[in-house]
Structure 1
Amino acid sequence: MKNKWRILKILVTVILFGFLLSFSLKRFNNAKMENVSINMNQTKTPVYFVDEKDIKELVKQYNPTKKIGDVKIPELEKKINQIPFVDSANVYMNLNGNLNVDIRQRVPVFRLNKNGRDFYVDEKGVEFPISRNFSYPCMLVMGDVQVSEYQELGKLIEKIDKDDFSKKYFIGITKEKGSYNLLTSDGNYKVEIGDLDNIEFKVRGFKTFVEKYLVDQNPQKYKKISLKYENQIVTTLNPYFKENDSILRNAPKIELKPDDGSQKLEVKKPEIKKAESKPEAKKEIKKSEPKKTEVKKETSKLKKVEKKPEVKKTSTKKKETTSKTSDKKKKVKVVIE
């Protein structure tokens, strides 16, 4: 009997508890939603792509009656996560009837202009569009950058932002024919780095070049500074800079690059080839002039056979011609020297 009474008491308490619970839940679900709190989890650099008004409009769409029980939390959370500016979202309800929406926004690493499209790329390599409400200041990249290169390019830009020297000089990145170029704020030249390997070494080489050489030069002097070659820096002069006219004329070694036809100047000692041209000029003069004298001698001999009294005249002519030729020889030597 005692066991039966115990079982009966337990059943009664369970039924009463369930009844009270269902009553309280029904009352809770029929109650109006008191407040909607939207928490934007900000990072080190604040972003404002998502507007709180837009999130509240979504909450109204998924809860038109404004009752707690009618809120479709899973569907609302899924819808917020589909917003391209949202990295992650979490929606939950408190016991006091407040709806909480925690949102983490995407932070752009760079802005890419590719094939006529303009969009942002975050640290995960995810593309998302430009916002009408907010413009984030970041590095501008132009060219045919592959999706597989997004994260490596993001690491390069992160290193530039952390280095005061690089942040001062580099304002943009372009990719032309598979080669990356860094655009500079000082002058119109670009810094060619080639691929994204050994970035730290290449940037350090450019820093050394600027501190030891470019400081004393006009930045308009150069068109391109290439760092893609191993253990060397190759500079391309700006042909529209007036001071480069004499340098380009007397350039020690100029090679025409096959890709863009620009002149690549390598700093080497000039090779003097004037000594080789001198003997050739002298030989040509010596060979050519004696032939003329021989012709004149032959003609003079013929004249001697025909007429004897005209011998003296021809001798004077010979002297004149020989003197003229000797004068010519002396003049040619002076010019060559």
Structure 2
Amino acid sequence: MKRFNDRPMEKISVKMTKTKNPVYFIDEKEVKELVKKSNPTKKIGDINIPELEKKLNQLPAVDSANVYLNLNGSLNLEIKQRVPAFRLNKDNRDFYVDEKGTEFPTSQNYSFPCMLVMGDVKKSEYVKLAELIQKINHDEFSKRYFIGISKSKDNYDLLTNEGYFNVEIGDLENIDLKVKGFKAFVEKYLIYQQPEKYTKVSVKYDNQIVTTLNPKYKDNDSIIAVGKKELEKLPLIKKKKEEAEKRILNEQKQQPKVIVETKPKTSQPKKEIEKKSPKKVIQKPESKPKGKVKIE
């Protein structure tokens, strides 16, 4: 390769590795500019390939970079870009997270279409959250319903395109079962109801679905009113229960105590069992055998 050392670096080939979802955070022009800056003399012999690879890998949107020279002296660069799993809005910051759980900034020139997540999501939860979103994207039902995710304290909610209610899933465990439960609720019940009737549908509990009614929905007024009346009765019921318990205690205190004396049992002398003498067996005298009489 020494014969190429003094040759000018004229041919630079940049190849962007294809991904399942095409991304365009960096382009060929940007990569070539970086190569030129790293080699001011523009001579092939002055290219520091390990250093150039390091600089390319330090680009936030680059997942991996491979740099090598051909025998003809041309410089080749293979770049693989990061693919966002979701976009996170956290602590007044807005950034992407890939499937490996790596954060990288958004771009002013390009915006990747992905699910928006809001709230105090821990870094240790990034990978599981990416797996959840991947499941949503690969399921037609979930993809049609869920458009975002929010986290409050330790509780996750799936935001729906209906806009009237959220689906509470709690933690990120047993996601398949929780989504399956919500799907059953939609197909067997919600399709016959108005979606604005609810503010929340919770599937965080095992084998049950809990709904929260929307107080602003007119048809819910009578149901909510009955519920409030029942709640208002609770203090009165509690008070009556306490009064009844006090009354029972007072009655027990006023009743005279009855002392029952028990006499000790006198032990009776044991009767002696008379021993019976065994009966004597009287043997009968053996009878002499009679002589046989022969009659002729």
**TM-score, structure 1 normalization:** 0.67
- Structure 1 CA distance for aligned equivalents of residues 51 and 167 of structure 2: 50
Q: Which amino acid aligns with 2:212?
A: T
C-alpha contact 1:34 1:97 (8 A) present in aligned 2: no
Show structure 1 runs of 4+ deviating over 6 A: 252-256
* Structure 2: 5+ residue stretches without partners: 233-296
1:28 aligns with 2:4: yes
Aligned partner letter, 2:210: V
Select the structure that is richer in helix.
Answer: 1
1:250 alignment counterpart: 226
Q: How does 1:121-200 map to 2 (within 5 A)?
A: 121-200=97-176
Partner Cα separation in structure 2 for residue 40 and residue 171 of structure 1: 30
Please give the alpha-carbon distance, in whole angstroms, between the structure 2 residues aligned to 1:88 and 1:254: 63
The CA distance in 2 between the partners of 1:254 and 1:113, in whole Å, is 41
Identity in percent: 66
Alpha-carbon shift at residue 67 of structure 1 (Å): 1.4
Superimposed CA distance per residue, residues 176-223 of structure 1 (whole angstroms, 9 cap, x where no aligned partner): 121000000024100000011111000000000000000011110100
Aligned to 1:50: 26
The structure-2 alpha-carbon separation of the partners of 1:82 and 1:187, relative to structure 1 and needing over 3 Å to count, comes to: closer
CA contact (8 A) 1:170 1:185 kept: yes
1:34, CA displacement in angstroms? 2.8
Structure 1 segments unaligned to the other structure (5+ residues): 1-24, 257-337
Q: Are the counterparts in 2 of residues 33 and 68 from structure 1 also a CA contact under 8 Å?
A: yes
Name the TM-score, length of structure 2 as normaliser.
0.76
CA distance in 1, matches of 2:163, 2:213: 12
Distance 2:201 2:34 in 1: 52
Identify the match of residue 178 of structure 2 among 202, 213, 230: 202
**How many equivalent residue pairs?**
233
Give 2:201's aligned amino acid: I
Letter of the 1:95 counterpart: L
In structure 2, the residue matched to 1:19 is none
Q: C-alpha offsets along residues 52-93 of structure 1, whole Å, 9 cap, x if unaligned?
A: 221111111122222111112111111000001000001111
Q: Matched residues in 2 for 1:177 and 1:87: separation?
A: 31
RMSD: 1.8
Shift of residue 252, structure 1, vs aligned partner: 9.2
